[in-house]
Structure formats: structure tokens, C-alpha cells
Amino acid sequence: MEKKDIVLSGIRPTGNLHLGNYFGAVKNFVKMQETNKCFFFIADYHSLTTHPKPGDLQGNVRQVLVEYLAAGLDPEKATLYLQSDLPETAELYLFLNMNAYLGELERVTTFKEKARKQPDNVNAGLLTYPTLMAADILIHRSSYVPVGKDQEQHLEMTRTFARRFNRMYKNDYFPIPKAFNFGDDLIKIPGLDGSGKMGKSEGEGNAVFLAEDPKSIRKKVMRAVTDSGPTQKNQTKPEPIENLFTILKVVSKPDVVEYFDDQYNNMTIRYGDLKKQLAEDIIAFTTPFRDKVAEISANQDYINKVMKMGAEKASVSARQTVNDVRSIVGFKKIY
Ligand code: TRP
């Protein structure tokens, strides 16, 4: 990735940030805003595919924005905006939909999953979710899109749509965006339930949220899955234990990790002590975040300013793209 490359990612306005989101994505967003032109937006149009209650929508968007700001996204460095503040996205979506085919859209894994999960609401927005996502990306002519594995197929569709547009209308108009995974910087945080990754849909107690209060963090960590202890010196740690160490490594000091590692290896470890330490270190790590959330959340003027500034900055490239595309497809203003 070079300095001139434009980076863009979208954030669904659902739920609170957990340690997994932070170390897996947000921390890298915060780093990228220092080196590249970055757009980060809250995907509120996309959220309509599951019919959220109108009264909930604004609160969800606000909470997500506040948490990303508290986590270090800087509206002076990156362009942070709300998807629906750029109606240009909806127009580009319309153009792209004219060249998106039923067959390819129906084959998308996330669509098939959603159709199975919500058979009463298989709407056209779900089917064309990848076209809207392509519009998000192409509207700023982005080159890199940091996304998780679950979004790679959507990104592949964006590449298909961009290539198709270029071929049909104008060579090289859209850059072909690449998925960006952080390589060695990608830290996968496991959940507390003994297996798999941390996620909010993996069940109660599996994820620790950045804004969670200390009492609740202690409770969750103390309930994390373990086993009955090592039975041999220097044995490989089974997954649930390795998971606790993985989290310890990102929130604790190296000597703390070493201390418990030694204890594990000589079989004197007491998981209760390990968990107590882990809980306190998570609390110490997340406390500045919690304070920041409270501070930003109390400052509606600031939130309004951030949203307004983001919309203004983002609309420059969006306007340009939509004007270009209108003219490229043959809409000419002659009056
Ligand atoms: N689909 C993404 C998700 O579920 C959110 C998203 C919407 C997005 N538009 C995007 C991500 C554009 C990257 C680029 O997480």
C-alpha cells in the first residue's frame, strides 16, 4: 500500500465494540489514518435490510460513532461520515444495479444465509447488499478495503462490478479495490468460551466490551472456560487456556505473561489467580476508553460537528464520481 492509496471501510451500526473488534480492526484503522487518506463510515442504509425500529436507528448510529471516536479515530485525519449523509451512494447503487445480475447476487453466501435466517423478509435490499457495498467503495474510488474474512466475497463482487463498468463504459475509470488484511498486525482475539473468536453473536459471556463496567468484566472473566490444570511439565496449552494467554498478551505487561507462563509450565498455576489478573488488566486497559465514551457522549455539539464535517468532506469525491458516472453512461445535461 502506498501513501496515495485511498482506504475505506464501513461499520455496521449494531452493538458495542469488543476487544476482538478493537485488536482485529479498529486499532489498525487508527494507525492507517496517519499514513493514508481514509474514509470510515457508518453503514446505516445497509442496516435497513433487517428492518430496525425507526426509533432505535439514531441511537445505534450515535453509540457506534462515539465508540469509534473514543477508540482513536480522528475526524481531522480520517473522513468519518454517515452513509445516508451521502445520497450520492444511493445513486451510484442504482447505476451499478443495472449491471448486477440476479444469478450472481443469489449465489452470495451472506445472502443465502440471511434468506435462510429471515425467510419472511428476503427483500431486494438483502439481495443487492453487495451492490450497495460496491457503491460505498467505488464512490471514493478507493483502492484498499480493510475487511474481515466474512466480507471477502462482497469485495470480490465489487471488483467484478468495477471491472464490468470499466469494460462497458470507460477503461480504467474505477480503480479495482483490494481487500486489505493487516498481515502480521492482525491479532485474532478469542472468546472466553473456550473456542473460536470473540464475537457478540457467539453467546452471552464470550465477548468483553470496551465500554463494559468493571464489575461485569470481572464476572465474565472469572467464568471463562478452563480445564482441570496441566498434567505434565511444559505441555502445550489446550485451546481454552491458550485463549486466556492470548488476551493476557495484548492487555498485560510482558513480565506478567511470563510469570503465568512459567507457572503453567511448572504446574503450579492457579487459574483463579490468572483470571483475576487478566480481569484487572482488561479493566486497566479499557478504563480510558470508558472515560472517553462518557466525555464524548456528553458533548452533542462535538458529535454534530464531527458528522457535519464528515458529510462535507465525503461529499466532494462522491459528487465528482456521480457526475462522472452520469455523463459516462450517457446522461448529458443540455439545459
Ligand atoms: N458489509 C460490511 C459488514 O457487514 C459493512 C460495509 C458496508 C462495508 N459497506 C462497506 C465494509 C464498504 C467495507 C466497505 O461489516
Considering only CA atoms, which of 98, 5, 99, 83 is closest in space to residue 40? 83
Active site residue 197: yes
What percent of the chain is modeled with pLDDT above 90? 90
147 CB within 6 A, ligand 1: yes
Residue type at 108 in one-letter notation: V
The whole-number average pLDDT for the span 81-86 is 98
Cα-based angle 67, 207, 38 (whole degrees, multiple of 5): 35
- Is the predicted pLDDT of residue 255 greater than 90, yes or no? yes
- Of all protein residues, the one whose alpha carbon is nearest to atom 11 of ligand 1 is 10
Residue 164 lies in a domain: yes
Query: 167 and 223 share a domain?
Result: no
pLDDT band at 199 (very low <50, low <70, confident <90, very high): confident
- Of all protein residues, the one whose alpha carbon is nearest to atom 7 of ligand 1 is 10
167 CB within 6 A, ligand 1: no
CATH, residue 82:
3.40.50.620
Active site residue 114: yes
For the stretch 25-79, pLDDT in tens is 999 999 999 999 999 999 999 999 999 999 999 999 999 999 999 999 999 999 9
For the stretch 280-311, pLDDT in tens is 999 999 999 999 999 999 999 999 999 999 99
pLDDT band at 16 (very low <50, low <70, confident <90, very high): very high
pTM as predicted:
0.93
Cell numbers given for 234? 511444559
Instruction: State the Cα–Cα distance between residues 332 and 80, nearest whole angstrom.
Output: 32
pLDDT band at 232 (very low <50, low <70, confident <90, very high): very high
Number of domains, the chain: 2
The whole-number average pLDDT for the span 100-111 is 98
133 CB within 6 A, ligand 1: yes
Instruction: State the Cα–Cα distance between residues 310 and 44, nearest whole angstrom.
Output: 15
pLDDT at residue 182, as a whole number: 80
Residue 334 lies in a domain: no
Active site residue 237: no
pLDDT band at 183 (very low <50, low <70, confident <90, very high): confident
The whole-chain average pLDDT of the chain stands at 95
33 CB within 6 A, ligand 1: no
What percent of the chain is modeled with pLDDT above 70? 100
Segments forming the whole domain that contains residue 284 = 200-294
Query: 228 and 167 share a domain?
Result: no
Query: 304 and 287 share a domain?
Result: no
